[in-house]
Amino acid sequence: MRMMNAAVLSAALALAAFPALAATYEIDAVHSEVSFKVRHMMMGKTSGRFGKFSGTVEFDAKNPKTWATKAVIEAASIDTDNEKRDGHLKAADFFDVEKFPTLEFASTKVTGWKNGKGKLEGNLTMHGVTKPVVLDLELNGETDKGVGFSAKGKIDRREFGIVWNKALDHGGVAVGNDVDITLDIEALKK
């Protein structure tokens, strides 16, 4: 009996050493936004967004090392407020939505977490190419019902095989290579 009690006590102590499991939250697409900006015609930046996306967030406020997120974005939901441009972006020159219908992100870790800010590292798959990305992450708030984050970063679209461009008569190109990404996410407990 004493041996059995010792085994139960050892197991309980071993389990107590592990951090509590993070809660699972589902991304609330109605109150979230996946947006981007890219240089246009060497003059300014054009912005756009993706209207359809889903995903989950694993979150434990006391342990950022347990945080994880996975998201899927429907490429055909791209919207730049210009139907002709959106059609071109959906075509083979850019996202090729028939061949590559989704963009996907899966986090690998959160680093440098301090005072509600840190880095979100993960793998982004776009246009059939997967590359590591690092985003600046900020906790916007949390309640008993959900959690909100913002993440910002920059990618070079050419690294994902999106290379179409057009030389301009006055020099430069029609579309910049660097794309600024902004994610404003609210996620609700499942």
Find the helix or strand (DSSP H, E) in which 2 lies: helix 2-17
Q: How distant is the alpha carbon of residue 72 from its chain centre?
A: 9
Half-sphere exposure of 104 (CA within 13 A, CB side): 9
| Placement of tokens 């301009």 in the chain | 168
Question: Is there a contact between 92 and 57 (Cβ–Cβ < 8 Å)?
Answer: no
- d(C-alpha 28, C-alpha 143), whole Å: 14
Domains identified in the chain and CATH numbers: 20-189 (2.40.128.110)
Helix, strand, coil percentages, rounded to 5, for the chain: 20, 55, 25
Answer whether 0.75 is exceeded by the pTM: yes
Q: Cα(9)–Cα(46) distance, rounded to whole angstroms?
A: 61
Answer yes or no: is pLDDT of 49 > 80: yes
Per-residue pLDDT tens over the stretch 118-152: 999 999 999 999 999 999 999 999 999 999 999 99
